[in-house]
């Protein structure tokens, strides 16, 4: 999906916060940060999925389109996403997972990208084991640019989850599916980064 703006400053000059978009964040920053950069009505259900993964244990951030109509113009591509609040959060984050949406409304699947190949492979194995279809990331969905929002934490490498609309909708509507999906990801994060338990006061 291509939006109208090349960065947040350009968007901010043309759109009104509270009317066209809103920014929602957890109460504290944390070394684990879950991001929905295209939340709300831009890529439906990504905000909810990000918050479910974070719960009260990790930090979360959501940039949400709230226009009554076409929200696609609010889509800032991931390697240009530079909203100041999330850039602040990334300064504290060692583990970054971004939640994105693919248009496919028929097939239930996801693709895993980002520069943290080791963690990405662990996620792929765990999600497949728990019954989810993980496809090879297509060109354009691999999250390999160093400026991609998922790779801008302290380690310079993170995870990008591209989830089809069909699967996002099922996760949102089906409690069993949601629990299975969310618990799989949360369990891996907790096991891998159990030492990352320091929270930071949020300054927006």
- Residue-wise pLDDT for 183-193, tens only, equals 999 999 998 87
Class of domain 8-189: alpha beta
Q: Could you tell me which of 166, 167, 189 has the C-alpha nearest to residue 32?
A: 189
Asked if residue 139 has pLDDT above 60, the reply is: yes
Q: Say if residue 43's pLDDT is above 90.
A: yes
Please, which residues bridge with residue 101 across strands? 163
Contact 125, 61 (CB under 8 A): no
Task: Detail the DSSP E strand segments found in the chain.
Answer: 21-25, 28-30, 32-40, 59-65, 95-102, 110-113, 134-135, 159-164, 199-201
pLDDT in tens, 111-121: 999 999 999 99
Task: Delimit the domains of the chain by residue range.
Answer: 8-189
Q: The tokens of 47 are what?
A: 């905000």
Rounded alpha-carbon distances, angstroms, from residue 178 to 101, 175, 183? 16, 5, 8
What are the tens digits of pLDDT across the range 120-129? Answer: 999 999 999 9
The stretches of 100-193 forming alpha helices (DSSP H) are 117-129, 165-173, 175-192
CA-based torsion, 179, 46, 121, 30: positive or negative: negative
Q: Which two tokens stand for residue 111?
A: 């693709």
pTM: 0.93
- Structural contact between residues 165 and 114, judged by C-beta atoms closer than 8 angstroms: no
Residue 166 and residue 71: Cα distance in Å, rounded? 19
């Amino acid at each position: 999906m291509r939006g109208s703006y090349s960065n947040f400053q350009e968007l901010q000059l043309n759109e009104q916060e509270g009317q066209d978009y809103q920014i929602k964040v957890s109460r504290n920053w944390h070394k684990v940060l879950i991001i929905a950069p295209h939340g709300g009505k831009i890529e439906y259900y990504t905000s909810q999925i990000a918050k479910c993964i974070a719960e009260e244990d990790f930090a979360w951030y959501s940039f949400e389109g709230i226009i009554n109509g076409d929200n696609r113009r609010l889509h800032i591509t991931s390697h240009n996403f530079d909203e100041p609040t999330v850039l602040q959060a990334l300064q504290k984050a060692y583990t970054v997972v971004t939640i994105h949406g693919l248009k496919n409304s028929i097939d239930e699947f996801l693709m895993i990208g980002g520069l943290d190949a080791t963690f990405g492979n662990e996620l792929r194995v765990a999600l497949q084991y728990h019954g989810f279809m993980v496809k090879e990331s297509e060109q354009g969905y691999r999250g390999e640019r160093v400026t991609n929002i998922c790779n801008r934490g302290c380690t310079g490498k993170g995870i990008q989850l591209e989830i089809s609309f069909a699967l996002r909708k099922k996760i949102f509507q089906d409690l069993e599916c949601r629990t299975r999906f969310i618990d799989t990801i949360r369990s891996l994060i907790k096991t891998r980064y159990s030492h990352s338990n320091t929270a930071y006061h949020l300054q927006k």
